């Protein structure tokens, strides 16, 4: 049994809200960044947290999406756009609305790739995220 069940069909995943993809993508991306920092630094937990914030804040995610857009497939661009344009009633606290929307698009893309088990493509995209 998998610890994390990713057994939903493509049809089920495609009918999910882009905000659901973003919810999963946020977690997957943060875990990736944390593991990257643990594996590549000798920092103590507080410093790891401070460094992780630089990667996971909305402004950084928005910049990443803009940077990699030209390297995405049509389907990936569609997923990111759906995430970016999803009606979200949450007001960003420490980001512009535009950065928040783009970061939601980025997280939706990460979540979609994860849920659809496109693990090799997910790794490729995540590697491009390290600034």
Predicted local distance difference test score (pLDDT) of residue 67:
96
Q: Hey, where are the domains in the chain?
A: 21-127
Q: What is the pLDDT of residues 66-97, one digit of tens each?
A: 999 999 999 999 999 999 999 877 766 788 88
Distance CA 117, CA 59 (A): 27
Burial status of residue 100 (CB atoms within 10 A of its CB: 0-12, 13-18, 19 or more): buried
The Cα–Cα gap between 109 and 22 comes to 7
Query: pLDDT (tens digit, 9 = 90+) per residue, 27-74?
Result: 999 999 999 999 999 999 999 999 999 999 999 999 999 999 999 999
Just list the catalytic residues: 26
CATH topology of domain 21-127: Ribonuclease iii, N-terminal Endonuclease Domain; Chain A (1.10.1520)
Alpha carbon 17 to chain centroid, angstroms: 15
**Residue 44 backbone dihedrals phi, psi, to 5 degrees:** -80, 165
């Amino acid at each position: 049994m998998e610890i994390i069940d990713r057994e939903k069909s493509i049809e089920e995943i495609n009918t999910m809200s882009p905000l659901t993809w973003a919810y999963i993508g946020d977690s997957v991306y943060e875990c990736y960044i944390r593991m990257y920092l643990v594996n590549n630094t000798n920092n103590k937990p507080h410093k790891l947290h401070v460094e992780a914030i630089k990667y996971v804040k909305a402004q950084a995610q928005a910049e990443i999406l803009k940077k990699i857009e030209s390297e995405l497939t049509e389907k990936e661009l569609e997923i990111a756009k759906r995430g970016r344009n999803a009606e979200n009633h949450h007001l960003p606290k420490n980001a512009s609305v535009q950065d928040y929307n783009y970061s939601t698009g980025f997280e939706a893309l990460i979540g979609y790739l994860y849920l659809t088990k496109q693990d090799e493509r997910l790794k490729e995209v995540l590697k491009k995220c390290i600034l």
